[in-house]
Amino acid sequence: MPSSKLKSPTITDLGVTPIIQAGGPNTKHSGSRPRPETLAAMEEASKQFVNMDELLIAAGEELAKLVGSEAATITSGASGGLVVQAAAAIAKDDPDLIKKLPLTDDVPHTLIIQKKHRFIYDHLYLAPGARFREAGDDKGCTPEQMEDAIDDQVVGIVYLESSNRKEGAVPLPVAAEIAHRHGIPLLCDGASMLPPRIHLKQYLQEGSDLVSFSGGKAIRGPQSTGLLLGSKEWVEYARLNNAPNATVARAQKVSKEEILGLLAAVKVFVSEDEVAETARYKKMMNLVVDQVAEIPGVTAEVIHNYDHYIPHAVISFGPKWKGPDGMEIQRRMMAGSPRVYVAAGLYKGTAVVVDGLNIQNDEELQAVARRLREELLKASQERRR
């Protein structure tokens, strides 16, 4: 087929102003930059046609080898993985029940979730017809409370891997032991918990039967891809309940281009030097901190912990800061030129955060630091009027 000579539209042709993405790989602001290897693999895959079931099985086997899991498959983002986790827990490999979902009134379909683990995307577990039963309260949950919540209508336990939900929660290995004692799976959401790369194995070693990760964040695969890792039995149940089959997850298609692009990205990701990577991001963030550290009322520091998967520049507003909160600083950064997105949500407006994952070069880094300094200086002067 001859190629068209028509000019392809660009983002700016559509009247949309690009941003410097300095707030982390969140979906609303385009995820992450695909690796060159990702884009090359996608282009090559576009030249051929395949049976998608065969490709997904082969790609799952390759993915499992790359990350060191017993089995794996590819989903439509980590969120798509949550849908098929729940579908697998309800329907397993029953062909009639697979086709019936999300109609579940006459079959067990309850998932246990610690109340402390409720989160903004947990409704994805409900899409196949599941229902939650909460264990514990906002402060935490005990193993006894989790166990007491289980009856013959329960098909699995949902576990959110998140740094700010750990205190008071039942630890993953304990939750997994409870689940397995009752013959049900432990379903883990680890969407954004990479790096460290050890998490690719850790959550499985601690007892998860299925765990979902995003392929479009730190891995830098196609934005709409996800990794679903687990045991051979449960990954096969998940695959049967996933697209391209006629299932509740049919809308969650992953193209052959995305599948090969993700494999290419994972291959690079698992081979990278995490120590050198951390040092590089720390150096970048120190530059940002140095630009704003002396501004009155703010504390600027580089933080690398369970909340911050790579070193981040965290600019906190102390009691002497009388200017606008972090959410307003975030808005102003997006309203200026160049437009810069910084994070503020994790700290509920008490800080703004710079994440270096998507900062593409030194020019962008300098622009982020300069714009942040400008906005903070301007805001600090407003309070003295």
Q: For 14-73, write each residue's pLDDT tens digit.
A: 999 999 999 999 999 999 999 999 999 999 999 999 999 999 999 999 999 999 999 999
What are the structure tokens assigned to 218, written together? Answer: 């730190």
Third-level CATH fold of 36-271:
Aspartate Aminotransferase; domain 2 (3.40.640)
Q: Against a cut of 0.85, is the pTM above it?
A: yes
How far apart are alpha carbons 158 and 62 in whole angstroms? 27
DSSP one-letter string for 243-285: TTSSSTBTT----HHHHHHHHHHHHHHHHS-HHHHHHHHHHHH
- List where CATH 3.90.1150.180 sits in the chain: 12-29+273-382
Q: Are 315 and 292 in contact (CB under 8 A)?
A: yes
- Between the alpha carbon of residue 130 and those of residues 99, 115, 263, the distances in Å are 15, 16, 31
| Per-residue pLDDT at 38 | 98
Per-residue pLDDT of 90-149, as tens digits, reads 999 999 999 999 999 999 999 999 999 999 999 999 999 999 999 999 999 999 999 999
Sorting pLDDT into bands at 50, 70 and 90, what band is 1?
low
Q: Is the dihedral of CA 129, 134, 139, 141 positive or negative?
A: negative
Third-level CATH fold of 12-29+273-382:
Aspartate Aminotransferase, domain 1 (3.90.1150)
Per-residue pLDDT of 186-235, as tens digits, reads 999 999 899 999 999 999 999 999 999 999 999 999 999 999 999 999 99
Torsions phi, psi for 247 (to 5 deg):
-130, 180
